[in-house]
């Protein structure tokens, strides 16, 4: 029996690409419907990948975080904007390029970890930025000098805010705004809404965009990235974007739900 409001195409979905912040959890608190939803995907044999713009944690960090919430996943099911940025840099810059990173340990590992790039300061040929929860003025000063000195600028993502249990706090896009204002150069943005992360996830899943769902809580990143990659898109309103934001942004998901249990029920009904 079909679930009221569920689109017919949900029965033919082969895989999911899932954002995490605002979809599975908020801060350190799991969203109640997340664990049963993922367990149902496993039971139905529907593969999934996590694709997050958050460049502050590694896949192993996410495995530990989610395990502590009772949500078991594997490191190879997580693709972060830090990893996507590392891939982008290696595809577009020569070995030995000097880089200055504005960001946390996970981003630094993605950039410097294999020795492909050389760590530098204000004389860097390339500046890479992500969220930095320990940001100090000196970091912005060096990045600004490098950019003004001719360095290319690449950003993991441009999310202006980051969801926490206390509310929205400055995200990586806030640092981008500061560096654009001071450095005078717009970055290449690798994370969502660029389709790069979605396309890489599709390749790993081995599925087509037409039969894969991009599931997220943010219209201007998750849903737009899925749209640009040619995926079906589902917005869940447990995070950033609301139903009212759809009209305001003009970004239209294929389906909007309040909580993941409705999507879970639709998938179960579609497999009967």
| Alpha helices (H) along 58-195 | 59-67, 81-92, 105-112, 137-148, 172-183
The answer to whether residue 21 is catalytic is: yes
Does 156 fall in a domain? yes
Q: What is the pLDDT of residue 2?
A: 66
Catalytic residue among 14, 19, 61, 123: 19
DSSP SS3 for 130: coil
**pTM (2 d.p.):** 0.89
| Cα-to-chain-centroid distance, residue 198 | 9
Q: What is the pLDDT of residue 25?
A: 93
> What whole-number distance in Å separates Cα of residue 78 and Cα of residue 244?
30
Beta bridge partners of 16: 48, 213
Does 77 fall in a domain? no
The answer to whether residue 94 is catalytic is: no
Region of 20 on the Ramachandran plot (φ > 0 left; ψ -120 to 50 alpha; else beta) = alpha
The verdict on 123 and 220 lying in the same domain is no
Q: Identify the CA nearest to 84 among candidates 216, 229, 199, 196.
A: 196
Catalytic residue among 21, 132, 152, 159: 21
Q: What is the pLDDT of residue 1?
A: 52
The verdict on 245 and 162 lying in the same domain is no
| Cα-to-chain-centroid distance, residue 58 | 12
Does 206 fall in a domain? yes
Residues of the chain short of pLDDT 70, as ranges, are 1-2
The verdict on 210 and 153 lying in the same domain is no
The pLDDT tens digits of the residues spanning 147-204 come to 999 999 999 999 998 877 788 889 999 999 999 999 999 999 999 999 999 999 999 9
Residue burial 204-240, b: 16+ Cβ < 10 Å; e: rest:
ebebebeebbbbbbbbbbbbbbbbbbebbbbbbbbbb
Contact 224, 32 (CB under 8 A): no
Does 67 fall in a domain? no
Task: Report the interhelical angle of 34-44 vs 260-270 (nearest 10°).
Answer: 20
- How many distinct structural domains can be found in the chain? 2
Does 70 fall in a domain? no
| Cα-to-chain-centroid distance, residue 20 | 8
């Amino acid at each position: 029996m079909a679930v009221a409001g569920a689109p017919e195409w949900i029965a033919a979905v082969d895989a999911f690409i899932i954002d995490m912040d605002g979809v599975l959890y908020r801060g350190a608190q799991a969203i109640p419907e997340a664990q049963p939803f993922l367990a149902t995907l496993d039971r139905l044999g529907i593969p999934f990948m996590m694709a997050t713009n958050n460049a502050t944690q590694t896949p192993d960090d996410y495995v530990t975080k989610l395990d502590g919430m009772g949500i078991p996943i594997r490191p190879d099911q997580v693709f972060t904007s830090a990893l996507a940025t590392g891939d982008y840099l290696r595809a577009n810059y020569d070995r030995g390029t000097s880089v200055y990173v504005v960001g946390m340990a996970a981003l630094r590992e993605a950039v410097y970890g294999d020795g492909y790039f050389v760590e530098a300061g204000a004389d860097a040929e390339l500046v890479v930025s992500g969220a930095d929860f320990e940001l100090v003025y000196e970091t912005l000063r060096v990045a600004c000098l490098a950019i003004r000195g001719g360095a290319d600028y690449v950003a993991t993502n441009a999310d202006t805010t980051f969801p926490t249990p206390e509310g929205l706090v400055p995200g990586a896009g806030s640092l981008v705004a500061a560096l654009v204002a001071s450095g005078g150069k717009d970055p290449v943005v690798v994370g969502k809404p660029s389709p790069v992360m979605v396309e890489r996830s599709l390749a790993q899943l081995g599925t087509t965009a037409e039969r894969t769902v991009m599931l997220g809580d943010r219209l201007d990143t998750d849903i737009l990235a899925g749209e640009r990659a040619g995926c079906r898109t589902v917005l869940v309103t447990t995070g950033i974007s609301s139903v009212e934001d759809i009209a305001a942004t003009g970004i239209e998901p294929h389906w909007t739900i309040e909580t993941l249990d409705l999507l879970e029920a639709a998938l179960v009904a579609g497999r009967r």
